[in-house]
């Protein structure tokens, strides 16, 4: 971090600022120019509030040289993180995974038929929402505890690890046997929730917020990691733009940028990103081509009658075809 002081700053005030900065455990280097004095900070500056310093009377400007996220930062962890989801299933660092299943858990029969089908097509993680973040309070809200029970039963029968979304930390005891906990887009900055998830020992799939930039996504990952839980999977699921032909706008450059900035695995969700089943295939291929570590795809046994997100859900047969195409592409890219 570099702090430029205003001209003619009295040396007493400058020294006061320096000793305050050093109280954060950083070292300071002062370079005194003819017109301006600059203080360079060396060490861990993550706890230093740049806005606070920038607002001081004697400060002209503050520039961060390194990013404010540390644990998620590739600089301090050059190798890709490989996250073990379950026995024999890992993601990241060359381990690509399909996460598939319906938007919402609706019944035991539905989950079993979808799970069996997506497993045959190569999915190694089963998704299904039990607590649904719906825009309207009158829409289907999920089966709650019963939904988790069905997921666990499907896991027992099929052997597929499961991922499901948490909306309230009070529900955490229900997630004890869930393999991956999802934090949905709407909760990406629910910091108290993130802090609690930082205290548990389970992979967390963190979805990008509807209107959040990548630095904010990484800072949210940092919230979880700072608590000790370093098993965070990032998920790009599209962001709000002025475009209306798609539900959101899939930001595929996020995959490249996140891989550069962070060692954490990056998953792409082309279902929520586009909102239309017919766009899932091209976007899934594009995501795999640009280096995503996995895909999260909504699959329903009967999309026209789905209780949530039917229009963007693939049938098991469509998923099978998409998974084949993606696998072919990944094989072609091998060794790249």
Query: Measured from the CB atom, is 3 or 103 closer to Mn ion?
Result: 103
| Residues 152-171 contacting ligand PEP, CB under 6 A | 165
The answer to whether 103 contacts Mn ion (rule: CB under 5 A) is: yes
Task: Please give the Cα distance from 306 to 323 (Å, whole number).
Answer: 21
Pairing of strands 204-207, 232-236: parallel
Spatial CA neighbour of 119 closest among 144, 86, 79, 141: 86
Stretch that binds ligand PEP, among 31-39, 55-63, 179-187, 284-292 (CB under 6 A): 179-187
Count the residues of the shown chain that bind ligand PEP, applying the rule CB under 6 A.
10
Planar angle of CA 238, 287, 276, nearest 5 degrees: 50
Residue/partner pairs of 76-80 with CB below 8 Å, 24 or more apart: 77/263, 78/263, 79/263, 80/263, 80/265
Spatial CA neighbour of 279 closest among 304, 294, 298: 298
Query: Measured from the CB atom, is 48 or 267 closer to ligand PEP?
Result: 267
Residue 98: how many other CB atoms lie within 10 Å: 23
Name residues whose C-beta falls within 8 Å of residue 51's C-beta, 6 or more positions apart in sequence.
none
* Whether the Cβ atoms of residue 38 and residue 31 lie closer than 8 Å to each other: yes
231, 237, 259, 281: which one contacts ligand PEP (CB under 6 A)?
A: 237
Considering the complex, what minimum distance in angstroms separates the CB of residue 117 from ligand PEP? 19
The answer to whether 62 contacts Mn ion (rule: CB under 5 A) is: no
Task: Please give the Cα distance from 258 to 87 (Å, whole number).
Answer: 27
The answer to whether 225 contacts ligand PEP (rule: CB under 6 A) is: no
Task: Please give the Cα distance from 111 to 153 (Å, whole number).
Answer: 9
The answer to whether 185 contacts ligand PEP (rule: CB under 6 A) is: yes
Considering the complex, what minimum distance in angstroms separates the CB of residue 148 from ligand PEP? 14
Considering the complex, what minimum distance in angstroms separates the CB of residue 261 from Mn ion? 27
The answer to whether 272 contacts ligand PEP (rule: CB under 6 A) is: yes
Considering the complex, what minimum distance in angstroms separates the CB of residue 131 from Mn ion? 12
Query: Measured from the CB atom, is 103 or 194 closer to Mn ion?
Result: 103
Task: Please give the Cα distance from 128 to 106 (Å, whole number).
Answer: 9
| Residues 199-228 contacting Mn ion, CB under 5 A | none
Query: Measured from the CB atom, is 222 or 309 closer to ligand PEP?
Result: 309
Task: Please give the Cα distance from 300 to 142 (Å, whole number).
Answer: 15
Query: Measured from the CB atom, is 41 or 206 closer to ligand PEP?
Result: 206
Task: Please give the Cα distance from 236 to 251 (Å, whole number).
Answer: 7
| Residues 84-123 contacting ligand PEP, CB under 6 A | 103
Q: In the stretch 280-309, what mask flags binding to Mn ion with x, by CB under 5 A?
A: -----------------------------x
Residues that bind ligand PEP (CB under 6 A): 103, 129, 133, 165, 184-186, 207, 237, 272
Residues that bind Mn ion (CB under 5 A): 103, 309
């Amino acid at each position: 971090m570099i702090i430029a002081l205003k001209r003619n700053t009295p040396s007493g005030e400058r020294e006061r600022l320096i000793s305050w900065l050093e109280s954060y455990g950083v070292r300071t280097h002062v370079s005194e120019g003819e017109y301006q004095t600059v203080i360079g900070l060396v060490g861990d500056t993550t706890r230093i509030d740049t806005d606070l310093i920038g607002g001081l009377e004697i400060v002209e400007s503050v520039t961060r040289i390194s990013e404010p996220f540390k644990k998620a930062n590739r600089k301090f962890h050059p190798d890709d993180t490989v996250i073990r989801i379950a026995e024999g299933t890992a993601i990241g660092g060359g381990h690509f995974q399909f996460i598939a299943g319906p938007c919402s858990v609706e019944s035991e029969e539905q989950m079993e038929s979808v799970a069996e089908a997506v497993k045959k097509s190569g999915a190694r993680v089963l998704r299904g929402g039990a607590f649904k973040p719906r825009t309207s309070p009158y829409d289907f809200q999920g089966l709650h505890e019963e939904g988790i029970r069905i997921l666990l039963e499907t896991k027992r029968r099929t052997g597929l690890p499961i991922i499901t979304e948490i909306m309230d930390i009070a529900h955490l005891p229900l997630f004890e046997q869930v393999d991956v906990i999802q934090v949905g887009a709407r909760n990406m900055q629910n910091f108290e929730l993130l802090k609690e998830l930082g205290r548990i020992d389970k992979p967390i799939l963190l979805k990008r917020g509807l209107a959040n930039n990548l630095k904010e996504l990484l800072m949210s990952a940092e919230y979880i990691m700072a608590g000790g839980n370093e098993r965070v999977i990032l998920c790009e699921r599209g962001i709000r733009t002025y475009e209306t032909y798609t539900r959101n706008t899939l930001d595929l450059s996020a995959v490249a940028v996140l891989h550069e900035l962070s060692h954490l695995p990056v998953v792409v969700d082309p279902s929520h990103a586009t909102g239309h089943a017919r766009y899932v295939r091209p976007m899934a291929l594009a995501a795999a081509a640009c280096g995503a570590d996995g895909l999260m795809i909504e699959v329903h046994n009967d999309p026209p009658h789905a209780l949530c997100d039917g229009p963007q859900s693939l049938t098991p047969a469509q998923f099978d075809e998409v998974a084949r195409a993606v696998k072919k592409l990944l094989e072609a890219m091998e060794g790249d």
